[in-house]
Amino acid sequence: MSFLIDSGIMVTSQVLFFGFGWLFFMRKLFKDYEVRQYVVQVIFSVTFAFSCTMFELIIFEILGVLNSSSRYFHWKLNLCVILLILVFMVPFYIGYFVVSNIRLLHRQKLLFACVLWLTFMYFFWKLGDPFPILSPKHGILSIEQLISRVGVIGVTLMALLSGFGAVNCPYTYMSYFLRNVTDADILALERRLLQTMDMIISKKKRIAVAHRTMFQRGEVHNKPTGFWGMIKSVTTSVAGSENLSLIQQEVDALEELSRQLFLETADLHATKERIEYSKTFQGKYFNFLGYFFSIYCVWKIFMATINIVFDRVGKTDPVTRGIEITVNYLGIQFDVKFWSQHISFILVGIIIVTSIRGLLITLTKFFYAISSSKSSNVIVLLLAQIMGMYFVSSVLLIRMSMPLEYRTIITEVLGELQFNFYHRWFDVIFLVSALSSILFLYLAHKQAPEKHMAL
Amino acid sequence: MAALDRVKVLVLGDSGVGKSSLVHLLCHNQVLGNPSWTVGCSVDVRIHDYKEGTPEEKTYYIELWDVGGSVGSATSVKSTRAVFYNSLNGIILVHDLTNKKSSQNLYRWSLEALNRDVAPTGVLVTNGDYDREQFADNQIPLLVIGTKLDQIPETKRNEVLTRTAFLAEDFNAEEINLDCTNPRYLAAGSSNAVKLSRFFDKVIEKRYFLRDGNQIPGFSERKRFGGGTLKSLHYD
């Protein structure tokens, strides 16, 4: 009986998450596009719903809500469904939509989609070979095999995003890095941009006039096409056309210049807006936060290096360690069991919420930047795939932040994975990502003031 | 032919509706072979015979300024784009017939170009809601063009065309629906070509001819609709 009630609660929460994912898709992601294939929206919301359910189960684990056996059952069920989606459904639909964009293969859409999916499965399988992630006890088509590979991809993604985020966050928050931009700079650049546009216009006018006179005189200028056309154009050339092609080349160069100037102007406007924002109250608050985050970032890089160099994997989680420190060194006595449960709940809850929110915001920004009306379906599915893998691996890694008594269920459900490997892998990729982001931001920052001074 | 008079027409619309293909078709009578993302603004020139076939026929340059971007961009991007909106004489609003959102965004595009949504705090004063009275005294001629007509199946065509007719009426403008990859939609003598010609004639009239038929000599215009800073960066 209690099993039925528990299942009822789980299903209700899943429906709620599904609704949230649906709304997010409609309001935020597909703001400027029309949803023509509802399959895409359904898949995205389903992936989101099942990923959030996993986090919900962790919370239930800590709080002790629901029956232990029904929790275990739902864990297993959830995991199977998510793996099914991530490994079978989403890649297949990605292949299907990619193929539908290519006009040539229109007839045999399904066939080519299957071919693409098989290629994906092959590479996905091969991914597991170089990594020592699995003890050889398990068969081919077990959950552990799939989870281990999904985990590797997801952990890599998490570490890349973390590394970049840890460096980028203080860089954007702190106003120390803001370049000084005055209104005069912007006006000067805009003047140059408009002058370039005027030059382009005058050259295009000459070309248009020349074309019109040639057309009126009855000469039709054929551009040399094909192999023989090119050879013929070497010996016989019309004087007017040579002139025109020269002007056309100048126009191309000027257009490239106008694009560069436009991008620089946009950059200056954005910097000016940031300067104005930093003078407001909110801006000052974020500036202050930025200093904290830079210290945190340096600390994390330091810890990652130590972990790798000394081949150390933390055995205890921060909650237990914090409690140990307070009890042993500070001498404050309190009910360990009670407090550890609540503190780990709060800590894990914060980690989950911030990672979900951070991921959704990053995905949205990414989507706006690269999608177009043709590729929006494919990109959204790719983002759903990334989101699913990200959440699965955060479950893997969150195990580290939980006290021992709560870790057992994750270990039981996910089987015998080499968790230590994942943590080490995360540290390595995090370090690489953070250091290369620092290098990249340093170069970008250095380059910009020089361009700016050269005007 | 050396110094013809000129008018400036903006081509506005969401990303991916086909503005670059349209401009290429209008200026070169050829289909654009390799459309790619427009960064910033691309300009092209069309030579137009004003009042063709009458004794007052005169040739003008029409500059088509194709401004790329998204209507929901950050304020800094909008202020960067605003530099192209100086001294404009006409606006062509382009939307994608297969995508309703691009048609809805046209209201915001027209407000942005006509400079009505700029307030000191940068907040949208009109809330995005369209108010026809604001456009009652608009002097700048508008034309609405719907693209990708070939991708609409025959059965849905009527429904789509009625919707776009309402849209054009809201702007008090003519509308043309076509497919930018097929030059026959703008073939000489077709109703679309006539509408286009009439639009350009109207733009030229508003710019160069006062109501009573006198011609204004061409000199650099300094008016910017709606007030704001005077930026005369446009040389004639």
Residue B193 pLDDT exceeds 60: yes
Q: Amino acid letter at B58?
A: K
Name which of A213, A185, A55 is nearest B59 in CA terms: A213
Cβ–Cβ gap B74/A373 under 8 Å: no
The C-alpha atoms of residue A383 and residue A29 are separated, in whole angstroms, by: 11
Residue A131 lies inside a defined structural domain of this protein: yes
Residue A240 lies inside a defined structural domain of this protein: yes
Residue A325 lies inside a defined structural domain of this protein: no
In this predicted structure, which of A193-202, A248-257, B21-30 has the lowest mean pLDDT?
A: B21-30
Residue A102 and residue A184 in one domain: no
Pairing of strands B58-67, B142-147: unpaired
**Cβ atoms of residues B5 and B208 within 8 Å:** yes
Give pLDDT, residue A335.
Answer: 66
Q: How many CB pairs under 8 A join A and B?
A: 88
Which two tokens mark B121? 């705090």
Give the count of alpha carbons within 13 A of A190, CB side only.
21
CB atoms within 10 A of CB A436: 14
Which two tokens mark A1? 């009986």
Alpha-carbon gap: A279 to the closest alpha carbon of chain B (Å) = 15
What integer is the mean pLDDT of A216-242?
62
Give pLDDT, residue B226.
Answer: 41
Cβ-Cβ contacts under 8 Å for A361 (sequence gap 6 or more):
none
Give pLDDT, residue A314.
Answer: 60
B215 forms beta bridges with B209
| Centroid of chain to Cα A69 | 36
Which two tokens mark B199? 């639009």
Cβ–Cβ gap A266/B233 under 8 Å: no
pTM over 0.90: no
Query: Has domain B6-209 been given CATH number 3.40.50.300?
Result: yes
Residue A305 and residue A197 in one domain: no
Residue A425 lies inside a defined structural domain of this protein: yes
Which two tokens mark A412? 């039981």
Residue A141 and residue A102 in one domain: yes
Cβ–Cβ gap B45/A273 under 8 Å: no
Cβ-Cβ contacts under 8 Å for A24 (sequence gap 6 or more):
A48, A360
Nearest beta carbon to residue B76 from set A262, A273, A373: A273
Residue A395 lies inside a defined structural domain of this protein: yes
Cβ-Cβ contacts under 8 Å for A389 (sequence gap 6 or more):
A86, A150, A153, A154, A157
Nearest beta carbon to residue A373 from set B41, B99, B234: B99
Give, rounded to a whole angstrom, the gap between the first and last alpha carbons of chain B. 16
Exposure letters A292-321 (e unless 16+ CB within 10 A, then b): ebbeebeebbeebeebeeeeeeeeebebbe
Alpha-carbon gap: B84 to the closest alpha carbon of chain A (Å) = 8
- Select from A29, A191, A201 the residue whose CB has the most chain B CBs within 10 Å, as the one to mutate to test that interface: A201
Cβ-Cβ contacts under 8 Å for A392 (sequence gap 6 or more):
A51, A54, A82, A86, A147, A150, A151, A154
Question: pLDDT, tens digit, for every residue of B73-127?
Answer: 777 778 888 888 888 888 898 888 888 888 888 888 888 887 744 333 334 444 4
Cβ–Cβ gap B76/A269 under 8 Å: yes
Name which of A255, A31, A36 is nearest B15 in CA terms: A31
Residue A136 lies inside a defined structural domain of this protein: yes
Cβ–Cβ gap A33/B99 under 8 Å: yes
Cβ–Cβ gap B47/A32 under 8 Å: no
Question: pLDDT, tens digit, for every residue of B33-78?
Answer: 777 777 778 888 888 887 767 777 778 888 898 887 776 677 777 8
Residue A141 and residue A181 in one domain: no
Give pLDDT, residue A454.
Answer: 46
Residue B229 pLDDT exceeds 70: no
Alpha-carbon gap: B68 to the closest alpha carbon of chain A (Å) = 11
Taking each helix axis from N to C end, the angle separating A281-309 and A419-453, rounded to the nearest 10 degrees, works out to 130
Cβ–Cβ gap B46/A191 under 8 Å: no
Q: What residues in A contact B72, CB-CB < 8 Å? A: 31-32
What is the strand order of the sheet B174-177 is part of?
A: B41-50, B58-67, B5-12, B90-96, B142-147, B174-177
Give pLDDT, residue B107.
Answer: 85
Secondary structure element (H or E) that encloses residue B61, with its range: strand B58-67
Q: Which residue of A has its CA nearest to B98?
A: A34
Domain that holds residue A200: 177-218+234-284
Q: Cβ of B35 under 8 Å from any chain A Cβ?
A: no
The C-alpha atoms of residue A369 and residue B67 are separated, in whole angstroms, by: 17
Residue A27 and residue A146 in one domain: yes
Give pLDDT, residue B134.
Answer: 61
Cβ–Cβ gap B98/A209 under 8 Å: no
Give pLDDT, residue B117.
Answer: 41
Question: pLDDT, tens digit, for every residue of A289-343?
Answer: 778 777 877 877 887 888 888 776 665 666 667 777 777 776 666 666 667 777 7
Residue A64 lies inside a defined structural domain of this protein: yes
Cβ–Cβ gap B99/A195 under 8 Å: no
Residue A140 and residue A269 in one domain: no
The C-alpha atoms of residue A298 and residue A304 are separated, in whole angstroms, by: 10
- The DSSP symbol for B190 reads S
Task: Note whether ipTM > 0.85 here.
Answer: no
Residue A145 and residue A41 in one domain: yes
Cβ–Cβ gap B41/A33 under 8 Å: no
CA angle B210-B214-B218, nearest 5°? 80
Task: Please give the full DSSP string across A206-227, using - where no structure is assigned.
Answer: HHHHHHHHHHHHT-------HH
Question: pLDDT, tens digit, for every residue of A340-391?
Answer: 777 777 777 777 777 777 778 777 877 777 766 677 788 888 888 888 888 8
CB atoms within 10 A of CB B98: 19
Alpha-carbon gap: B192 to the closest alpha carbon of chain A (Å) = 22
Residue A148 and residue A269 in one domain: no
A131 forms beta bridges with none
Domain tally, chain A? 2
Q: Cβ of B210 under 8 Å from any chain A Cβ?
A: no
Residue A21 and residue A143 in one domain: yes
Nearest beta carbon to residue B47 from set A208, A258, A373: A208
- The DSSP symbol for B8 reads E
Residue B236 pLDDT exceeds 80: no
Residue A108 and residue A246 in one domain: no
Cα dihedral B119→B122→B125→B126 (10° resolution): 120
Question: pLDDT, tens digit, for every residue of B10-38?
Answer: 898 887 788 888 888 888 888 877 777 77
What integer is the mean pLDDT of A281-287?
81
The whole-chain average pLDDT of chain A stands at 78
Residue A336 lies inside a defined structural domain of this protein: no
- CA–CA distance from A39 to each of A45, A47, A96, A117, B76 (Å)? 10, 12, 12, 18, 36
Alpha-carbon gap: A355 to the closest alpha carbon of chain B (Å) = 25
| Residues counted in chain B | 236
Q: What residues in B contact A201, CB-CB < 8 Å? A: 43, 45, 63
Name which of A372, A364, A318 is nearest A344 in CA terms: A318
Residue A121 and residue A189 in one domain: no
Exposure letters B11-25 (e unless 16+ CB within 10 A, then b): bbbbbbbbbbbbbbb
Residue A120 and residue A208 in one domain: no
With cut-offs at 50, 70 and 90, classify the pLDDT of residue B211: low
